[in-house]
Amino acid sequence: MFKFVLPLAAVLMISACGGAAVVGPADGGTDGGTGTDSGTGSGDGTGGTPVNGSISSASVIPGDLRVNVNAIAYDPAAQTLSVQIASLDSTPATVQYRRTAGLDVQGYEAYSIQEDALDRLFIALSAQSADGSVSATTVADGGQFNKYFAGGVYTRNGAFEKPEIGTGPGAGQVSYAGNYAGLLNGGISQESSSSVLLPTEPGTDSSLLPSQSARVSGNIFLNANFADNSVNGSIYNRMVVDTNTTLTNVILVATDISSNGTFEGSAEDPDKNPVGAYGGAFGGRGANSVAGLVHLTEVIRDVANEQEHGVFVLSRCGGPNDPGGVCSQTAPR
């Protein structure tokens, strides 16, 4: 695991000992098989991608994004979150996390669980779109015993509905904007002012101690073309919330939008080096919203083996829930 250290000179340095390694996907790395659902319901949970239907099963999420997560149930109205992750968070298999408002990242609610001081601390960040059509959650522990567990889920209520495509030069071109949040595979120890780790007794051997995931914030912008069925974008203004560390931008490389309104593609740094993957689903009337996940590696300079699990839930520029900001520079739709 890596830890962030603030020296006396107030220059933030990161030790180069490397982060904990992620444990492989719960299903051995597959993306859910080749099955499909009927296209009208919530999916049968057996794998594959639903055709134009609701997305509610983790089995339809690409394996490199959901990683260890088997299921997540998020209710923003009740502020409850239940997680089933192939890991060591608690028992039974599906566990209700506690609302932890002190760890919220702008636009995303935080939940956490740690059974005792020598168990892993899991943090989850969740959000639902303003129209209620899509939601997404990312979850991670900060690492313990050289490994960490993480992943996420995005959901869509109802079928995919393309926006109307006109005849002008920008026909089918739609933009989305909003906040981004992520969790790193470590970074926070008990001594940090951001720590919510349960205290251990003095003299406890350091090899027993769990670490806490550092949080990442940022902004994200997507351009989607529903005539060409493609999407791309950028995550920018990225920083580690707990330490005010500035991080590099991440480019979401152009990829196809499938017939059911989902997408998955690759992520690069500004120098075009591969750094991970992203994916998500469009939802709502006229694809008014989009939710998805990001899994990044090697995006912090001078740090080895760091990984980041991110989440985004965005509204359409010019739509009924226009997020403002950079949307003022996009053509009205």
Residue 41's closest CA among 154, 158, 160? Answer: 158
Look at residue 201 and tell me if it is in a domain: no
pLDDT, averaged across the chain: 82
In the prediction, which pLDDT does 60 show?
Answer: 83
pTM, to two decimals: 0.86
CATH at 59: 2.40.160.90
156 belongs to a structural domain? yes
Tell me which residue range forms the domain holding 148: 4-163+172-196+208-329
- Residue 74 included in any domain: yes
Give pLDDT, residue 93: 74
Q: Which helix (H) or strand (E) holds 240?
A: strand 230-240
Cα atoms in the 13 Å half-sphere on the side-chain side of 67: 27
For residue range 48-72, what is the model confidence (pLDDT) as tens digits?
334 456 676 666 899 999 999 999 9
pLDDT, average across residues 304-320: 93
Q: For the segment 126-157, what is each residue's pLDDT rounded down to a tens digit?
A: 999 999 999 999 999 999 998 999 999 999 99
Residue 77 lies in a domain: yes
* pLDDT higher than threshold 60 for residue 17: no
- Report the distance separating Cα 252 and Cα 244, nearest Å: 23
Report the C-alpha gap between 283 and 257 in whole angstroms. Answer: 13
d(CA 61, CA 125): 17
66 SS3 class: helix
Question: Tokens 């914030």 correspond to what residue?
Answer: 217
56 part of a folded domain: yes
Tell me how many domains the chain contains: 1
Residue 92 has pLDDT above 80, yes or no: no
As given in the structure block, the two tokens for residue 61 are: 């999420």
Residue 89 lies in a domain: yes
Mean pLDDT score, 241-261: 95
Determine, yes or no, domain membership for 272. yes
Residue 295: pLDDT over 90: yes
47 in a structural domain: yes
